[in-house]
C-alpha cells in the first residue's frame, strides 16, 4: 500500500497496528494491549463521558490511580506529560515527562557556522527568541574577545529587543495561564497586546518570531526609520493593555481563590532546585542577572527588580505584571538612547566577523545594498571573495569555552559554547530556565488538588521548545 | 620596593598567622595580591590567602602550562575527501585548548582558590584539583572525579565560598584527548557573593564513563545529569534515577558524541517510514 507512485518515500507497511481495524489495538490513540503492568488496569480516556470511567474505576475499588496528563493536553503548555498519582482528588506524587519536542538543535548547531547557529537557537524557547540569540552571541563574543568592541547602539538595540521579548513572553504566560483557569478574556487580551510587540519585531527584523536578528558582533541591521516612533506608540498602548490585564486579574476573587497559596515553593526549595526567574523572586530574593551580573550595558539603565514574598502562583503572576512595567521603563530609556546614537554602527568594525553588506530591501522587495553589489561586482574582486568566504565558510573562533548567562523572562538562560578553533561551534549547550524549573513541579504539586497542578505549572511558565531543545 | 609596601600593610597580621599555624611566613610576593588591594572585605578571605600563602599550590611544570591538544585540523579549507588542490592540503594545525594558569589568576579567582584550599585542607586540594584554567575572564577548576563530591560539598557549604546554585551540567566530547574523552562541565553561581561564577570540569575516559553524581549536593542537577547521560553516555554514579530524558527510552547510542552522525535516522509515524534526509531521493 503506497500513497504515491513507485519510488515514493512514504511506504506504509501492511502490518501497521494503528491503521488496521482488524488488528488488536485498533484505536491508534489508545494504549497497546500489552501495556498493562503488574495486573494494573489501564483506562483510556479521549474525550467523551467521564462518568463511565469513574463508575468503572469505582467498581474496581482502586484507590490509587495513576493519571497521564498529556503530552497532548491543552493545559499542559505544549507537549508536557505529567504523571500524577492520585488519591481521590489529591495528588500524592507528580512527575514530569519531557522530550516530546526534542529536535536536536544543539547537535544541529555543531554542523553550521557560528552565525547560522543564531537561526537554530532562536527556535528553542520560541516565546523568548531574543534571549537565546543574545546569550549565544554574548558567548561567541567572549570567545572571540570582542565583548568590549560591540558598538553601543547594537547593545541598545539588543536591550530594547530583549525587554520587548520579556513583555511578550509574560503576556503569553498570563494569557495562557488565565485560559487554563477558564478566563478566556485574559487570553484574548494577552495575545492582543503581544501582537503589538510582534508587529514591532516584524518591522525591525522582518520576522514576528524566530528572528535571528542578534548576530555575533552586533545585530543584523539597524532599526528602520520610524521604528522609534512606532515603539513609542506601542508603549502607551501596552500600558493601557497591561492595565486592562491588571484590572482583570489582580483583585479577581476567582483568580485569587485559584492561585493564592497554590504552587508554593520557598526560597530553600528554589535554591536547592536551581530555580531562577519570577519563581525565585516570588520568594523575596531580588536575584536578577541584569542587576547582579550586568551585560549589554544593563547597569546603565534605571529599573527595579520586582519581588514579592508569597512564593505562590499569585505572587508570580503579580511579579510578571510588575516586571512588564519595569521593562517598559527600560524600553523608554532605550528609545531615548537610540535617538541619541542615530547613525552609529550596529555591528563590530572587524571585517573578518561582520558581514560586509547591510541588507537593504530594493524596489523589487528583496536584495542587497546596491552600493555593496556595485563594489563587489564592479570594482573589487577581493571584496567579492571575502564576502563569499565569510558567508559560506564563516569566521574562526579561537579555541576555548565560555559560559554566558542572561536573565530571560523565565530565569537564567545560560549558553555554554566551546570552540575548537573552527568555523562551527564545537559544542553549544543551552541551560534553559524552563528545563530546570520544571523539576519543581513535584515539589509544588504533591499534596495539592489536581486542578492546582495546572495552576502550578502555569506559574512556572515552561515552554517545551526550550525544555526539549 | 613593592615587597616593602606589602609588608608594611600586612606585616603584623601575617606574623600572627604564621605563628598560629606554624606555616612559616607565607607572604604574597606580589603587590597585586596583598590584603590592601583585596577588594572583598571578608576577613576570612584575607586570612585564608595568608594561610595558604597564595603559593601553596605546587609549582606548575612546563608540561602543565602547555595547552591541551584535543585534535588537529588538516589542510586550510576544510576539504576532507582529497579535493584540496590549493597546495595547502598538507598543513596540520593542532587544536589547542588553554592549559593551566599561573597565579595570580586575577579578579576573585585567587580568593576562591585560596578559600577552597583552606576549606579542603591543602593536601586534599592538591590531590583533588588537577589544574586551574583562567581563560577569557572565567575560572575553570579541573577536579579529579573521585574527589568531585568533596569539592562540591565544600563549595556549597563553606560560608565564604557558598556556591549555592549549580547551573546544570554540560557534556563535551573530545575524541582526540586520549583517556579523558568525556568532560562534564558544571557552571556554579554564588548569589551570596554577588553572582560570582566559577566552573568545575571533570573528565573521564570513554572506556570507563563514570562520574559521581552531585544531585545530593545540588538537587537541581537531577535532570541536567540525565540529559548528559542521554546525550553523552556519562554515567553519574549515585544519581537517583539515571534514565534517558530527551531521547526515547529505547534509543541506541548517545547522539551528541562526536562519532554519532547527524541525520541517518528514518522518521517513523504510524507505520509510515520516511527515510532520513541524506538518503532521500535527490533531484539533481
- Give the CATH number, domain containing residue B116: 3.30.460.80
Nearest Cα residue in chain B from A426: B172
Residues of chain A with pLDDT under 70: 1-50, 53-54, 57-58, 60-63, 73-76, 357-368
Residues of B in contact with A273 (CB under 8 A): 219-220
Which of the residue ranges A47-51, B143-147, B193-197 would you say has the lowest mean pLDDT?
A47-51
> Are B16 and B153 contained in the same domain?
no
Which residues 69-98 of chain A have a CB within 8 Å of chain B?
98
Q: Do the strands B235-237 and B210-212 form a parallel or antiparallel pair, or are they unpaired?
A: parallel
Is B278 within the bounds of a domain? no
Instruction: Name the average pLDDT for chain B.
Output: 76
CB pair distance less than 8 Å for A98 and B73: no
Q: What is the pLDDT of residue B60?
A: 66
Closest in A10, A19, A403 to B199, CB measured: A403
Closest in A102, A142, A439 to B136, CB measured: A142
Contact B274, A10 (CB under 8 A): yes
Cα atoms found within 13 Å of the Cα of residue B282, Cβ hemisphere only: 3
Residues 6+ apart with CB under 8 A from B30: B2, B6, B104
Residues of B in contact with A400 (CB under 8 A): 97-98, 135-136
CB pair distance less than 8 Å for A469 and B93: no
Of the candidates B248, B72, B47, B139, the residue with the CA atom closest to the CA atom of residue A420? B72
Of the candidates B191, B169, B173, B190, the residue with the CA atom closest to the CA atom of residue B182? B173
Local confidence band at B210 (pLDDT 50, 70, 90 cut-offs): very high
CA B187 to CA B166: how far, in whole Å? 6
In three-state secondary structure terms, B109 is helix
Domains and CATH numbers, chain A: 105-351+396-468 (1.10.645.10), 354-394 (no CATH)
Contact A190, A178 (CB under 8 A): yes
Is B114 within the bounds of a domain? yes
Is B118 within the bounds of a domain? yes
Of the candidates B236, B110, B217, the residue with the CA atom closest to the CA atom of residue B163? B217
Residues of B in contact with A283 (CB under 8 A): none
Q: What is the pLDDT of residue B81?
A: 64
Q: What is the pLDDT of residue A128?
A: 92
Cα atoms found within 13 Å of the Cα of residue B183, Cβ hemisphere only: 24
Q: What is the pLDDT of residue A43?
A: 65
Contact B145, B203 (CB under 8 A): yes
> Are B22 and B107 contained in the same domain?
no
Q: What is the pLDDT of residue B47?
A: 42
Test the B interface: residue of A139, A420, A468 with most B CBs within 10 Å: A420
> Are B198 and B142 contained in the same domain?
yes
Closest in A11, A420, A431 to B167, CB measured: A431
Which of the residue ranges A158-162, B169-173, B278-282 would you say has the lowest mean pLDDT?
B278-282
> Are B122 and B187 contained in the same domain?
yes
Q: What is the pLDDT of residue A77?
A: 72
CB pair distance less than 8 Å for B281 and A274: no
Q: Looking up cell 573552527, which residue turns up?
A: A422
Is B227 within the bounds of a domain? yes
Q: What is the pLDDT of residue A17?
A: 44
In three-state secondary structure terms, A190 is helix
Residue B267 at interface with chain A, using a CB cutoff of 8 Å: no
Closest in B167, B220, B255 to A414, CB measured: B167
| H, E, C per residue of A258-304 | HHCCCCCCCHHHHHHCCCCCHHHHCCCCCCCHHHHCCCCCHHHCCCC
Residue B18 at interface with chain A, using a CB cutoff of 8 Å: no
Of the candidates A409, A460, A399, A407, the residue with the CA atom closest to the CA atom of residue A435? A460
Closest in A16, A102, A403 to B138, CB measured: A403
At residue B52, does pLDDT exceed 60?
A: no
Q: What is the pLDDT of residue A37?
A: 55
Q: What is the pLDDT of residue B66?
A: 79
Contact B151, B200 (CB under 8 A): yes
Å between A85 CA and nearest CA of chain B: 18
Q: What is the pLDDT of residue A62?
A: 62
Contact A91, A453 (CB under 8 A): yes
Residue B35 at interface with chain A, using a CB cutoff of 8 Å: no
CA max distance for chain A: 86
Q: At residue B147, what are phi and psi to the nearest 5 degrees?
A: -105, 5
Is B111 within the bounds of a domain? yes
Boundary of a domain, candidates B21, B36, B56: B56
Nearest Cα residue in chain A from B76: A422
Of the candidates A52, A45, A51, the residue with the CA atom closest to the CA atom of residue A70? A45
CA A227 to CA A335: how far, in whole Å? 9
Contact A83, A94 (CB under 8 A): yes
Is B275 within the bounds of a domain? no
Which residues 248-287 of chain A have a CB within 8 Å of chain B?
271-276, 285, 287
In chain A, count H helices and then E strands: 18, 9
Residues of A in contact with B66 (CB under 8 A): none
What are residue B92's DSSP bridge partners? Answer: B74
- Transcribe A403-462 into DSSP letters: EEEEEETTEEEEEEEEE-SSSS-SEEEEE-HHHHHGGGHHHHHTTSBHHHHHHHHHHH--
Q: What is the pLDDT of residue A170?
A: 94
Q: What is the pLDDT of residue B176?
A: 85
Closest in B187, B262, B272 to A414, CB measured: B187
> Are B44 and B146 contained in the same domain?
no
> Are B216 and B110 contained in the same domain?
yes
**Count of domains observed in chain B:** 2
Residues of B in contact with A410 (CB under 8 A): none
CB pair distance less than 8 Å for A108 and B262: yes
CB pair distance less than 8 Å for A399 and B97: yes
CB pair distance less than 8 Å for A399 and B245: no
Q: What is the pLDDT of residue B67?
A: 82
Q: What is the pLDDT of residue B48?
A: 41
Residue B190 structural domain: 101-262
Closest in A104, A405, A439 to B255, CB measured: A104
Test the B interface: residue of A105, A139, A274, A388 with most B CBs within 10 Å: A274
**Grid cell in block for residue A314:** 499569585
CA B203 to CA B201: how far, in whole Å? 7
Radius of gyration of chain A measured on its C-alpha atoms: 25
Cβ-based contacts under 8 A for chains A and B: 149
Residues of A in contact with B194 (CB under 8 A): 292
Q: What is the pLDDT of residue A271?
A: 92
A414 conformational bin, left if phi > 0, alpha if psi -120 to 50, beta if neither:
beta
Q: What is the pLDDT of residue A49?
A: 64
Q: Looking up cell 538562560, which residue turns up?
A: A413
Nearest Cα residue in chain A from B163: A271
Residue B224 at interface with chain A, using a CB cutoff of 8 Å: yes
Residues of A in contact with B222 (CB under 8 A): 439
CA A188 to CA A295: how far, in whole Å? 34
CA B202 to CA A174: how far, in whole Å? 41
CA A153 to CA A159: how far, in whole Å? 10
CA A209 to CA A207: how far, in whole Å? 6
Q: What is the pLDDT of residue A240?
A: 93
In three-state secondary structure terms, B212 is strand
Local confidence band at B277 (pLDDT 50, 70, 90 cut-offs): low
At residue B180, does pLDDT exceed 50?
A: yes
Of the candidates B136, B188, B105, the residue with the CA atom closest to the CA atom of residue A399? B136
Residues of A in contact with B245 (CB under 8 A): 98-99
Residue B222 at interface with chain A, using a CB cutoff of 8 Å: yes
Which of the residue ranges A37-46, A280-289, B9-18, B231-240 would you say has the lowest mean pLDDT?
B9-18
Is B271 within the bounds of a domain? no
> Are B140 and B221 contained in the same domain?
yes
Is B3 within the bounds of a domain? no
> Are B46 and B167 contained in the same domain?
no
> Are B124 and B22 contained in the same domain?
no
> Are B49 and B113 contained in the same domain?
no
Amino acid at each position: 500500500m503506497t500513497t504515491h507512485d513507485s519510488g515514493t518515500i512514504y511506504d506504509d507497511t501492511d502490518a501497521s497496528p494503528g491503521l488496521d481495524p482488524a488488528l488488536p489495538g485498533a484505536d491508534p490513540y489508545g494504549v497497546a494491549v500489552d501495556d498493562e503492568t503488574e495486573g494494573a488496569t489501564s483506562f483510556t480516556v479521549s474525550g467523551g463521558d467521564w462518568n463511565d470511567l469513574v463508575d468503572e474505576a469505582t467498581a474496581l475499588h482502586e484507590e490509587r490511580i495513576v493519571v497521564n496528563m498529556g503530552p497532548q493536553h491543552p493545559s499542559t503548555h505544549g507537549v508536557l506529560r505529567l504523571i500524577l498519582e492520585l488519591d481521590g482528588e489529591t495528588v500524592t506524587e507528580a512527575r514530569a515527562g519531557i522530550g516530546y519536542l526534542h529536535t536536536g538543535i544543539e547537535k544541529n548547531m555543531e554542523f553550521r557556522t557560528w552565525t547560522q547557529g543564531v537561526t537554530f537557537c532562536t527556535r528553542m524557547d520560541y516565546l523568548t527568541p531574543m534571549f537565546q540569540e543574545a546569550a549565544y552571541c554574548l558567548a561567541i563574543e567572549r570567545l572571540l574577545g570582542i565583548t568590549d568592541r560591540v558598538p553601543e547602539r547594537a547593545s541598545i538595540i539588543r536591550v530594547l529587543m530583549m525587554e520587548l521579548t520579556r513583555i511578550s513572553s509574560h503576556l503569553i504566560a498570563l494569557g495562557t495561564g488565565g485560559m487554563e483557569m477558564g478566563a478566556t478574556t485574559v487570553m484574548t487580551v494577552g495575545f492582543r497586546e503581544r501582537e503589538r510587540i510582534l508587529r514591532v519585531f516584524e518591522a525591525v527584523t522582518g520576522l514576528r518570531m524566530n528572528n535571528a536578528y542578534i548576530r555575533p558582533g552586533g545585530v543584523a541591521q539597524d532599526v528602520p526609520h520610524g521604528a522609534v516612533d512606532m515603539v513609542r506608540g506601542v508603549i502607551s498602548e501596552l500600558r493601557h493593555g497591561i492595565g486592562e490585564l491588571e484590572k482583570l486579574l489582580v483583585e479577581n476573587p476567582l483568580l485569587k481563590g485559584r492561585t493564592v497559596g497554590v504552587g508554593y515553593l520557598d526560597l530553600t526549595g528554589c535554591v536547592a532546585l536551581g530555580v531562577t526567574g519570577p519563581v525565585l523572586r516570588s520568594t523575596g530574593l531580588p536575584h536578577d542577572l541584569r542587576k547582579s551580573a550586568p551585560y549589554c550595558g544593563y547597569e546603565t539603565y534605571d529599573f527595579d527588580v520586582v519581588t514579592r514574598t508569597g512564593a505562590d502562583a499569585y505572587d508570580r503572576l503579580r511579579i510578571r505584571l510588575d516586571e512588564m512595567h519595569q521593562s517598559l521603563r527600560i524600553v523608554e530609556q532605550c528609545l531615548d538612547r537610540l535617538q541619541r546614537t542615530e547613525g552609529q554602527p550596529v555591528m563590530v568594525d572587524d571585517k573578518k566577523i561582520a558581514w560586509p553588506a547591510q541588507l537593504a530591501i530594493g524596489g523589487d522587495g528583496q536584495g542587497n545594498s546596491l552600493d555593496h553589489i556595485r563594489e563587489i561586482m564592479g570594482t573589487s574582486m577581493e571584496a567579492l571573495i571575502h564576502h563569499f568566504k565569510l558567508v559560506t565558510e564563516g569566521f574562526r573562533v579561537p579555541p576555548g569555552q565560555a559560559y554566558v548567562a542572561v536573565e530571560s523572562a523565565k530565569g537564567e538562560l545560560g549558553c555554554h559554547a566551546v570552540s575548537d578553533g573552527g568555523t562551527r561551534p564545537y559544542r553549544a549547550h543551552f541551560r534553559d530556565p524552563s528545563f530546570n524549573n520544571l523539576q519543581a513541579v513535584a515539589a509544588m504539586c504533591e499534596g495539592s488538588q489536581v486542578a492546582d497542578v495546572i495552576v502550578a505549572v502555569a506559574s512556572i511558565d515552561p515552554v517545551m521548545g526550550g525544555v526539549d531543545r | 620596593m613593592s615587597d616593602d609596601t606589602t609588608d608594611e600593610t600586612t606585616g603584623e597580621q601575617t606574623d600572627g598567622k604564621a605563628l598560629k599555624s606554624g606555616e612559616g611566613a607565607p607572604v604574597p610576593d606580589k603587590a597585586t595580591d596583598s590584603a590592601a588591594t583585596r577588594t572583598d572585605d571578608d576577613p576570612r578571605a584575607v586570612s585564608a590567602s595568608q594561610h595558604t600563602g597564595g603559593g601553596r599550590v605546587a609549582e606548575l611544570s612546563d608540561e602543565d602550562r602547555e595547552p591541551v591538544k584535543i585534535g588537529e585540523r588538516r589542510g586550510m579549507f576544510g576539504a576532507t575527501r582529497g579535493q584540496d588542490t590549493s597546495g595547502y592540503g598538507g598543513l596540520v594545525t593542532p587544536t589547542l585548548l588553554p592549559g593551566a594558569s599561573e597565579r595570580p589568576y586575577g579578579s576573585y579567582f585567587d580568593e576562591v582558590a585560596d578559600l577552597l584550599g583552606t576549606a579542603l585542607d591543602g593536601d586534599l586540594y592538591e590531590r583533588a584539583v588537577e589544574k586551574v584554567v583562567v581563560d577569557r575572564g572565567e575560572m575553570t577548576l579541573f577536579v579529579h572525579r573521585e574527589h568531585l563530591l568533596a569539592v562540591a560539598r565544600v563549595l556549597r557549604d563553606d560560608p565564604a565560598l557558598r556556591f549555592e546554585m549549580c547551573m546544570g551540567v554540560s557534556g563535551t566530547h573530545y575524541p582526540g584527548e586520549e583517556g579523558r574523552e568525556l568532560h562534564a562541565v558544571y557552571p556554579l553561581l554564588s548569589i551570596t557573593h554577588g553572582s560570582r561564577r566559577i566552573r568545575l570540569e571533570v573528565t573521564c575516559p570513554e572506556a570507563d564513563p563514570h562520574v559521581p553524581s552531585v544531585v545530593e549536593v545540588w538537587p537541581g542537577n537531577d535532570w541536567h545529569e540525565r540529559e548528559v547521560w542521554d546525550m553523552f553516555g556519562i554515567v553519574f554514579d549515585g544519581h537517583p534515577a539515571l534514565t534517558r530524558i530527551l531521547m526515547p527510552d529505547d534509543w541506541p547510542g548517545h547522539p551528541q558524541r562526536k562519532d554519532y552522525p547527524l541525520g541517518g535516522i528514518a522518521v517513523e509515524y504510524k507505520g509510515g517510514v520516511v527515510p532520513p534526509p541524506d538518503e532521500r531521493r535527490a533531484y539533481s
